Amino acid sequence: MAQNQIPSILILCLAASISMTLLLSVEAKKTKFTLYFQDYAFGPNTTFFPIAGLPGSKLNYTDFGTFFVTDDNITAIPNEGAPVIGRAQGIYVVTDKGGKNLLVLLSLVFTSGTYNGSSIEIQGTSRQFDLNRELPVVAGTGKFRLTRGYINTDNFFYDQERGYSVIQVNVTLV
């Protein structure tokens, strides 16, 4: 009786293999766009703020264990004061004892435009001193339901005196 089951198992394995090959060969549609985060580290419009850290730390962006919250405007162009199309809301935690890496948990919440009512969820490690940083997109809602992909971020503009940064975010979704 066991000999009669072997061909059935082989046929099942072959069918599964063919199905996976066909599934993987279908090219997913890519969506790409660029956004800009308007980030204020201090001053009256602060959008990036330390909330907790290890005892004795200065709550600096390089101090291991420091938690930050963020609520940056998202714009379609890099100009300060550009129309807001959403918010980048989340938590950053300095997870590297040397202060080089951040754990990023970030929601891009769209409040107007083409993606109004949708969101993109980002979770991963950011090597904060690299010129270009890549983070995974792990989920989404609305028009981005079941999405996956990645973002690349780069410092587009920085005004140290005002604590104002513009971060360019290139989004690639599949």
- Residue 21 forms part of a structural domain: no
Q: What would the pLDDT profile of 65-81 be if each residue is shown by its tens digit?
A: 999 999 999 999 999 99
Query: pTM of the prediction?
Result: 0.82
- Residue 151 forms part of a structural domain: yes
Domain that holds residue 52: 28-173
- Residue 85 forms part of a structural domain: yes
Domain CATH number, residue 92: 2.40.480.10
Predicted local distance difference test score (pLDDT) of residue 99:
92
- Residue 8 forms part of a structural domain: no
- Residue 90 forms part of a structural domain: yes
Predicted local distance difference test score (pLDDT) of residue 4:
58
Higher pLDDT, 124 or 2: 124
Number of domains comprising the chain = 1
- Residue 12 forms part of a structural domain: no
- Residue 98 forms part of a structural domain: yes
Distances, alpha carbon 5 to alpha carbons 1, 8, 15, 17, 144, in Å: 7, 5, 15, 18, 44
- Residue 11 forms part of a structural domain: no
Q: Please give the Cα distance from 133 to 127 (Å, whole number).
A: 6
Nearest to 102 by CA among 60, 73, 138, 143: 60
Distances, alpha carbon 25 to alpha carbons 18, 20, 174, in Å: 11, 8, 14
Predicted local distance difference test score (pLDDT) of residue 25:
47
